[in-house]
């Protein structure tokens, strides 16, 4: 699996690596000779047809702020309501937060709602949840810009180091009681509460949700590791697992799939190391952009499991459609015109452009060979640039650390990368010193000012996109989709980047699979 990501997300993404096998084999018959970690057949036979079953680990508990487990965080979406959810179109769905108002470096959050025991959610609970998130291994990095947190009544005031008009997009985090942020199983503020019956742990729908769902009880299955996920989904012992994994996620005999929009940007990195580099010229970077067909990369390299980046900001983001500056298809005539405007001429014998001294316009393109998706994307980009008259040599590296080090040290004139962006469209990974994709990025003061203005006021989105397109410090290619794979006993799952169980009340039970 390959992700060129900020280091803050590498560990989380690596935890999905074994889960890839879960989906690629989800329709296969279970192998009775498989090594341990699977779910015993006797346990499967005892499950009721049509029962919704989720994996969990009692050792990790149910507190998403204390655990690094993706499963614990996934299940917490059912147990705890968030300040906000983010829809599949990247709109804000206000939940515990009744309003979020950003003004300069100050954000005011007004909260409401109640916990499962009837206690009102207060500003103290909201503030404690923000502080717990700041200290947590999963959510902490997104709040690096957050300073003091104060509360009064049902209001929380957050002071930021830098203005962020889109701070609300970071608030898709669970709300816990102020006195329970360190508890293994805090009081629910969401749709379900943790319970127990004679067969083990369950989630039971809270009274205000019970009448809305066809799944009043969710069975929890203890896991000993990812082997249990693999065998569990194969034989129907669990009902769902989700991933951002790059693998063949086709449906199967016992699995449905639901795709959802991620904020993972796949891009063509450009390292303009020094003014003498041809890549230091914005017109050449623009020509490279024009020579690339994003549509081909989305359709062929990602098998339509990614969507075209028509700007640097996620195209699903509200207001981005009107600010889009990047074409889906290549424009070779325009690309060649830009190259020739820089004084390059076509060498008819080779089919490549060269400068006045006969130096060919040629670059290496680095990709991590552990990702078949990225390898195919690199091949397509190389072919497209070659067609335009730029010689490209693809350099594969099967060692992720080595690949990463080459980029960090400026040894990759062109490279295929991926960043998992925060949902407030923070681009510091490219534009800030120390950002994982910052090395070699050529950005003028004007572009950085446009970026800061966009962060301070979302109305500056179009101006930022225009400034970015004028300099093209890197080439956005596609944004990826995630996938939830779930039992064919059910339909109607509508996952989002915030919540795999978003609008879970729409889930319906179909004809249950008969388990032997």
The string of DSSP letters for 391-402 reads EEEEEEES-HHH
| pLDDT single digits (tens) 457-511 | 999 999 999 999 999 999 999 999 998 888 888 999 999 999 999 999 999 998 6
With 90 as the cut, is the pLDDT of residue 2 above it? no
Contacts of 380 (CB under 8 A, 6+ apart): 293, 296, 297, 300, 301
CA distance 440 to 271: 4
DSSP 403-438: HHHHHHTT--SEEEEEEE--TT---HHHHSTT-TT-
What is residue 5's predicted lDDT score, i.e. its pLDDT?
A: 43
DSSP-derived 3-state class of residue 177: coil
With 50 as the cut, is the pLDDT of residue 250 above it? no
| pLDDT single digits (tens) 405-422 | 999 999 999 999 999 999
Distance of CA 55 to the CA centre of its chain: 22
On whether the CB atoms of residues 502 and 495 are closer than 8 A, the answer is: yes
With 50 as the cut, is the pLDDT of residue 249 above it? no
What is residue 406's predicted lDDT score, i.e. its pLDDT?
A: 97
Contacts of 469 (CB under 8 A, 6+ apart): 286, 311, 325, 326
What mean pLDDT is predicted for residues 425-429? 96
Task: Please name the fold of domain 58-190.
Answer: Dipeptide-binding Protein; domain 1 (3.90.76)
Which residues of the chain form CATH 3.10.105.10?
261-480
What mean pLDDT is predicted for residues 236-264? 74
The vertex-422 CA angle with 419 and 423, nearest 5°, equals 125
On whether the CB atoms of residues 307 and 298 are closer than 8 A, the answer is: yes
Which residues of the chain form CATH 3.90.76.10?
58-190
What is residue 125's predicted lDDT score, i.e. its pLDDT?
A: 99
What mean pLDDT is predicted for residues 392-405? 97
With 60 as the cut, is the pLDDT of residue 96 above it? yes
What is residue 46's predicted lDDT score, i.e. its pLDDT?
A: 36
Q: If 0-12 CB within 10 Å is exposed, 13-18 middle and 19+ buried, where does residue 327 land?
A: middle
With 70 as the cut, is the pLDDT of residue 338 above it? yes
What is residue 230's predicted lDDT score, i.e. its pLDDT?
A: 61
What mean pLDDT is predicted for residues 29-55? 50
Q: Using the 8-state DSSP alphabet, how is residue 183 labeled?
A: -
DSSP-derived 3-state class of residue 289: helix
Number of neighbours of residue 105 by Cβ within 10 angstroms: 16
Contacts of 352 (CB under 8 A, 6+ apart): 346, 360, 361, 362, 389, 390, 391
With 50 as the cut, is the pLDDT of residue 376 above it? yes
With 70 as the cut, is the pLDDT of residue 45 above it? no
Q: For the domain 261-480, what is the CATH code?
A: 3.10.105.10
On whether the CB atoms of residues 405 and 357 are closer than 8 A, the answer is: no
On whether the CB atoms of residues 115 and 189 are closer than 8 A, the answer is: yes
With 90 as the cut, is the pLDDT of residue 368 above it? yes
CA distance 10 to 14: 6
Closest CA to 109 of 120, 118, 99: 99
**What is the pLDDT of the chain when averaged over all its residues?**
88
On whether the CB atoms of residues 64 and 172 are closer than 8 A, the answer is: no
């Amino acid at each position: 699996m390959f992700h060129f990501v900020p280091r803050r997300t590498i560990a989380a993404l690596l935890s999905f690596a074994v889960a890839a096998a879960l989906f690629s084999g989800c329709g296969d018959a279970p192998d009775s000779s498989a090594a341990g970690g699977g779910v015993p057949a006797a346990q499967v036979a005892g499950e009721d047809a049509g029962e919704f079953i989720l994996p969990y680990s009692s050792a990790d508990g149910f507190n998403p702020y204390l655990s690094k487990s993706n499963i614990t965080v996934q299940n917490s979406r059912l147990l705890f309501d968030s300040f906000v959810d983010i829809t599949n179109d990247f709109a804000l769905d206000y939940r515990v937060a009744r309003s979020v108002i950003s003004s300069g470096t100050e954000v005011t959050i007004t909260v409401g709602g109640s916990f499962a025991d009837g206690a009102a959610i207060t500003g103290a609970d909201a503030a404690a949840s923000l502080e717990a998130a700041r200290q947590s291994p999963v959510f902490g990095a997104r709040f690096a810009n957050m300073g003091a947190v104060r509360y009064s009544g049902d209001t929380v005031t957050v002071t930021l180091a830098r203005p962020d008009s889109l701070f609300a997009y970071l608030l898709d985090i669970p709300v816990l009681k102020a006195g329970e942020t360190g508890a293994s199983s805090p009081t629910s503020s969401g749709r379900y509460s943790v319970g127990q019956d004679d067969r083990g742990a369950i989630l039971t729908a809270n009274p205000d949700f019970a009448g809305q769902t066809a799944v009043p009880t969710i069975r929890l299955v203890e896991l000993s590791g990812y082997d249990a996920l693999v065998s569990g989904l194969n034989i129907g012992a669990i009902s769902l697992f989700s991933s951002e994994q790059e693998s063949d996620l086709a449906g199967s005999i016992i699995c449905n799939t639901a795709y959802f929009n991620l904020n993972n940007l796949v891009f063509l990195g450009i390292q303009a190391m020094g003014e003498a580099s041809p890549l230091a010229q914005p017109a050449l970077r623009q020509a490279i952009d024009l020579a690339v067909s994003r549509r081909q990369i989305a359709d062929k390299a990602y098998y339509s499991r990614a969507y075209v980046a028509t700007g640097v900001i996620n195209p699903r983001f509200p207001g981005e459609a009107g600010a889009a500056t990047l074409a889906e298809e290549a424009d070779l005539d325009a690309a060649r015109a830009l190259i020739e405007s820089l004084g390059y001429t076509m060498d008819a014998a080779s089919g490549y452009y060269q400068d006045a001294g006969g130096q060919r316009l040629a670059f290496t393109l680095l990709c991590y060979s552990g990702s078949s998706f990225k390898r195919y994307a690199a091949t397509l980009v190389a072919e497209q640039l070659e067609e335009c008259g730029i010689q490209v040599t693809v350099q594969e590296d099967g060692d992720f650390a080595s690949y990463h080090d080459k980029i960090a040290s400026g040894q990759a004139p062109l490279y295929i990368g991926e960043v998992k962006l925060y949902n407030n469209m923070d681009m510091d990974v490219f534009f800030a010193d120390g950002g994982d994709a910052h090395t070699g990025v050529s950005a003028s003061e004007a572009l950085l000012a446009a970026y800061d203005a966009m962060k301070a006021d979302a109305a500056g989105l179009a101006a930022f996109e225009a400034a970015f397109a004028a300099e093209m410090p890197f080439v956005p290619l596609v944004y990826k989709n995630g996938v939830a794979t779930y039992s064919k006993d059910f339909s109607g799952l509508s996952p989002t980047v915030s919540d795999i169980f978003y609008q879970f009340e729409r889930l319906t039970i179909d004809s249950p699979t008969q388990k032997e």
